[in-house]
Amino acid sequence: MNVVSLSPFDLALAALLILALAGLSWRLRIGSERQLLISAARSTVQLVLIGLVLKLLFAHAHPLWVGLLAAVMLAVAGREVMVRQKRRFVGGWGFAVGTLSMFVSSFAVTVLALLLVIGNDPWYAPQYAIPLLGMILGNTMNGISLGLDRLTQDAAEKRQIIESRLALGQDARRAIADSRREAIRVGMIPIVNAMSAAGIVSLPGMMTGQILAGTPPVEAVKYQILVMFLIAAGTGFGTMVAVSFAARRLFDERQRLRLDRLRPPQA
């Protein structure tokens, strides 16, 4: 493959665009410049570190190390789901709901793809397992975040409606069914939009990266279709599990809506 190597100077030129954007944000008093610069610096450090980790992992492929890195990725994704909620569950539930859902969906879909679709030997080869899990986990994280955020806010806003349904004899599952369906729909919007626009409005990241690295376009398309379908499955199943689990948590054993299990809205 004919890969064009990028120098630190090339990356510095690209960084000037971020600095220019931050300067414009400051000039227009938008207030996003600090967050933008911190995010850019954080992204750079994290990507450099994961590059070094993957370099070592590729040279010493072992299921234990691959599993350890996957567990770290899952834990960080679970924390990101928790902190993105405007109203999140108190205690460990805020972390557990998203993390468990991502484990059930993302890991299951990734292992299925590695064993039955890609069929690499060994199946846990980090060259395939880590990037694939990262793409599925990242998109599933976004879907679950949106779904849980919508569910908890909807439950708070429609408290009187839900409690009225309970008073009329409906069980908890039926009383919150509308909010649960809407939350799942919202969680799946990003991946549905991404699949609808792929190839026409945008060229997805994996396909673009493979083409830049010299992979034949048709082969890159095949992998991108595979990844898009896997991401859609992981996001859909993960959002359904998370929202359904969270909806149950909003009620106690006596079918009462318990909004005290949620923290006050985050600023």
- Among 60, 84, 99, where does a domain finish? 60
Same domain, 169 and 252: yes
> Do 40 and 74 fall into the same domain?
no
What pLDDT is attached to residue 227? 87
Q: Are residues 99 and 129 in the same domain?
A: yes
pLDDT value of residue 145: 92
Is there a domain that residue 266 lies in? no
pLDDT at 266: 58
Dump the DSSP string for the chain.
--PPPPPHHHHHHHHHHHHHHHHHHHHTT-S-HHHHHHHHHHHHHHHHHHHHHHHHHHHT--HHHHHHHHHHHHHHHHHHHHHT-SS-BSTTHHHHHHHHHHIIIIIHHHHHIIIIII--SSTT-HHHHHHHHHHHHHHHHHHHHHHHHHHHHHHHHTHHHHHHHHHTT--HHHHTHHHHHHHHHHHHHHHHHHHHHBTTTB--HHHHHHHHTT--HHHHHHHHHHHHHHHHHHHHHHHHHHHHHHHHHTB-TTS-B-GGGBPPPP-
pTM above 0.85, yes or no: no
Residues of the chain with pLDDT under 50: none
**pLDDT for 222:** 86
78 and 183 share one domain: yes
Same domain, 27 and 159: no
Range of the domain at 70: 63-261
**pLDDT given for residue 267 in this prediction:** 52
181 and 238 share one domain: yes
Number of domains in the chain: 2
Residue 14 domain flag: yes
What is the pLDDT, as a whole number, of residue 186?
Answer: 94
